Amino acid sequence: MTTKNVIKVLIADDHAIVREGLKQILADTKDIVVAGHAENGIEAIKLTREGTCQVLLLDISMPDRSGIEVLKQVKKESPKTAVLMLSMHREDQYAIRSLKAGASGYLNKQSAPAELVNAIRQVAAGRKYISAALAQELANQISDDHETPLHETLSDREYQTLTMIASGKTVSDIATELVLSVKTISMYRSRLLQKMKLRHNAELTHYAIKNHLVD
């Protein structure tokens, strides 16, 4: 196989074990090579900017900024780079937001190695990739013909704050994890409560569980 046909991949994940696992999976393929890795969003943006890869494997939960934010920045600076989002979240939670923000595909980290390889080849060829399970979920949503759920009106940060509060985290916990001020997170919380016509965290958590936004 010629060098021209080899797909160069950049892995962006803050967990060393995950990065090594992905490298090991891709090491067994002849047409895919890992060109580098990043431990956070800023590194991912910097490396992608250098134009060393065709596909960026991007974890949606990065320590310094959300994967969606990194995705938007990468697509703005390097529009030709195909971004395949990786997540531990249920696919229907973040997949739509990722695809709308410019991702070429979305894959759960628990997917089989063969599915990951197939997804990389597909997005590298300029196509979109979603799993069969997600395709079915999207089809169900269309056939339901219901109004847009309130949580889909939230910004990415507001949605992230919603899911973290519903998972039992305090405003202080969220501020620390996202490296933002408590004041900023409180603002996101106030906004999302207003948009969703909810009064407090208990109603917010009930809504998130009812709509399967948290596991």
CA–CA dist 171, 131 (Å, integer) = 34
- pLDDT confidence band for 42 (50 / 70 / 90): very high
Quick one: pLDDT at residue 176? 93
Judged by DSSP in three states, 12 sits in: strand
Domain with 44, as residue range(s), is 3-139
CA–CA dist 31, 28 (Å, integer) = 9
Sign of CA dihedral 13, 15, 20, 21: negative
Question: Taking the mean position of all CA atoms in its chain, how far away is CA 129?
Answer: 13
| Total Cβ atoms within 10 A of residue 121 | 16
Q: Is 144 a member of any domain?
A: no
- pLDDT confidence band for 146 (50 / 70 / 90): low
Together in a domain, 32 and 53: yes
- pLDDT confidence band for 20 (50 / 70 / 90): very high
Domains held by the chain: number: 2
Together in a domain, 117 and 156: no
Across 64-73, 139-148, 161-170, which has the greatest mean pLDDT?
161-170
Compute φ and ψ for 206, nearest 5 degrees: -60, -45
Compute φ and ψ for 55, nearest 5 degrees: -130, 135
Together in a domain, 107 and 154: no
Together in a domain, 88 and 68: yes
Asked if 56 contacts 29 with a C-beta cutoff of 8 angstroms, the reply is no
Together in a domain, 87 and 30: yes
